[in-house]
Chains A and B, each alone.
Chain A
Amino acid sequence: MWRVGLVFGAVAWFVSLVGLVEALHGRWVVDGVLSAGQVLLLAVLLASGWTAARRFSASLVGRLWAGLLAGATVGFCVGLLVWLRSLVDLRTMFVNASPALFQLLSGGQPARVAWAAAVAVGAGVGLVGGAGACTPARVVRPILVGAAAALSLALFQELVLLVLQPEPLAPVRDWLFVAGGGPTAQGIAATFAFSAALAALRQASWGRAGRVALPPKAQRVLWSFVGVLLLAALPIAGGPFVAQVLVIVGLYTLMGLGLNLEVGLAGLLDLGFVAFFAIGAYTVGLLTSVGDHGIAHWSFWAAVPVAVLVSLIAGVILGIPVLGIRGDYLAIATLGFGEIVRLLVLSDALRPWFGGSQGVLAIPKPVLAGFEFSGPQHLYYLTVVASAVVAYVAWRLQDSRLGRAWMAIREDEDVAEALGINLVSVKLLAYGLGAAFAGVGGAIFAVMVGSVFPHSFQLLISIQVLALIIVGGMGSIPGVIVGSAVLIGLPELLREFGEFRFLVYGAVLVAMMLLRPEGLLPAAAQRRELHAAEEEPAGLARTPVGAATEGGA
């Protein structure tokens, strides 16, 4: 138990010393009472209690005791840090070990008192965590949902305030937020209660109706109508900043849908995917630019099909040399391709054509029937339409003959070949179509920024696209959208914590792989693979259903 405590104690040290706690401390969860930094520390304590209780005991008392002990150990670690600081100046090694941080950790008390207090608070919170582990999930889940909602209110308060800007909404605003400060206690409490109640209700209705029951057609139409309205209203309600974030999410969705064909469906790992995004962007840039490097002064609409075609061809060209390569080697080869494209457009030798590190400038905004897509709020609609079209194409591909061939080569290339699947054409189509999708994204990116630079096409983008597919759920189209919203959208919205972005990224990825390796919204096959043992009874239960559909097909 104390070992779990030590692990979480290390986590507490870590988040403190990298400066995450202090950064979050600048954000009120309840104005003047509780900061997000404190919430983070509390969450660490709760998690330690919960984990220890889960791991070490089955009995109620045992679990409470385990939670208490683990929490106390974490508290001890935090106290130790405070005490250490009173002896030596930690700042020579940890730049983030600032006075403000220790003011927060020690509560302004002298080190010894603070140490004792930390152990006591830790034990108390750990006990609560342990109690949580003894409570049935049906109770815990709504509480977690409520807490998440309340926390979101605090973290995204600018956004909420933005939406509540109009004067008629002022009373709501003033009730939820302290003027010029964080959420009020009543606001947080109400958000928590409301969301928790909603989650509890939903859970109860699930229990009755059964989770698998599909909504009738009318209901589905209604929902998609609501969804479209919501999508259309988002940038208007949220303003240019939100629209900008959504455009970026859309661009990553486009890339994600493309890479999903390669990695998710066909099982061909590609770490150089950003190359196709770059090629799409440069093609549009060169064809439409009114600056030095413009070659055609075409309109955006004429340039997009060309960009898609050029990306597609580039995908096939990448595909040809790597046809016979599998697995890890494929990852390295494609990695090289991504870098080659970036270095080519960066190179001095090709500067007369691509502008070197200066890039291609003066790319005009698209104009449609006299209407100029100037700001992010306009480009948002362009992105949404493009994503919808591409998602539709991806969805049709998935269920097509080609989609099945991709699935077969993902599962077993040799057998697929023996069953009559033409590996060459099927693989090249995966690379080509995936690249074409990314090319659409690149085209919009070019007009969004108004210029394209080699610097915009770093390896990191390829990695992010891959990560969002994994988090969303390999091979799943809704998963791509969710993945890019979570991995790209959230960090963009939380810009002020930007420096911790990749720290959180890494943590989220590790946690995902441990807790939910199939992704947030997995495709059926992945779920089966990773939960084969648990699913087996379900598989058997489904047999008559499967037989029935097969008879009807």
Chain B
Amino acid sequence: MALLELEDLHVYYGNIHALKGVSLQVEAGEIVALLGANGAGKSTTLNTVSGLLRPRSGAVRLEGEDLTRIPPHRIVERGVVQVPEGRRVFGQLTVLENLEMGAFTRTDSQGVREDLERVFALFPRLKERAAQVAGTLSGGEQQMLAIGRALMARPRVLLMDEPSMGLAPLLVEQIFDAIQEINRQGTTILLVEQNAYMALQVAHRGYVLQTGQVVLSGSAEELRENPEVKRAYLGG
């Protein structure tokens, strides 16, 4: 049984049919990339998994348990945590306060301290700037903070929405290194990306979404070689 399983999800915004029967699986320990053009429904998919949106039909299962009837905060408690699109950090709070906010659902202070060290080890830049107000961080630092904040909830499945958006190439590398490192430390990752090239470098498998439907899926290698993917997402 897959750790996370989406089955035939239909999601609407009013009359707009945004997801038209999306199904996908994420196995424990994997990095799975979800690719697609603007408006394909990638963010919608993630928001449905984390409970912020409700599907009209279909199911999201975590180890067989249906999440679609569970409120978002309980889903976080079950270990499914999202890094929202566009690095929305709490701008007025300090880096440290942001990270503490990420551990909101947790009660094991010892574990939280350990995870704080883990995040600081992953992003030493955040440690240097622990007392700085998050709103004054650079874009890349804010993305690190958004990821670190999600890690503070000690997720089993991390949902990442376009972590490379708007970052310089060097920073993109750093972020993807961190993603791989997080995965190596045991966290399963569902990664939404427009940067298909980078995503397929780190992912084990991938799905391609087009206007709310999965049109292609396969191992990262297969997708890299697929002529359609090459043409549409890899620029050649």
Contact = CB atoms under 8 A, between A and B. Distances in A.
Interface string B78-111: 0001101000101111101000111011000000
A411 B104 contact: no
A423 B132 CA distance: 27
B104 A417 contact: no
Interface stretch (B69-77, B185-193, B228-236): B69-77
A547 interface: yes
B136 interface: yes
Given A419-B76, A421-B104, A408 B90 contact: yes
B50 A543 contact: no
Contact of A529 (B75, B88, B91): B91
B133 A528 contact: yes
Interface string A522-541: 00011011001001100110
Contacts, number: 95
Contacts of B130: 543, 546-547, 550
B105 A418 contact: no
Contact of B71 (A415, A422, A525): A422
At the interface, is chain B mostly helix, strand, loop or mixed?
A: mixed
A529 B75 CA distance: 32
B127 A547 contact: yes
A545 B129 CA distance: 11
Given A401-B104, A411-B93, A546-B94, A421 B73 contact: yes
A542 B129 CA distance: 9
A417 B129 contact: no
Contacts of A547: 127, 130-131
B52 interface: yes
B153 interface: yes
Contacts of A412: 88, 90
Contact of B93 (A407, A414, A423, A545): A407
A543 B128 contact: yes
Contacts of A424: 71
A424 B129 CA distance: 33
Contacts of A351: none
Contacts of B21: none
Contacts of B150: 419
A420 interface: yes
A539 B93 contact: no
A546 B96 contact: yes
B156 interface: no
B135 interface: yes
A404 interface: yes
B128 A528 contact: no
Contacts of A542: 131
A4 interface: no
A543 B91 contact: no
Contacts of A543: 128-132
Interface string B123-162: 0000111111101100000000000011001000000000
Contacts of A529: 91-92, 135
A405 interface: yes
Interface in A295-320: none
A236 B162 CA distance: 66
Nearest to B90: A411
Given A423-B73, A532-B133, A536-B133, 5 more contacts: A418-B50, A418-B82, A525-B93, A526-B92, A529-B135
20 contacts: A407-B101, A408-B90, A408-B101, A412-B90, A414-B84, A418-B76, A418-B84, A419-B81, A419-B101, A419-B104, A420-B81, A420-B104, A421-B73, A528-B92, A532-B136, A536-B136, A539-B136, A543-B129, A543-B130, A546-B94
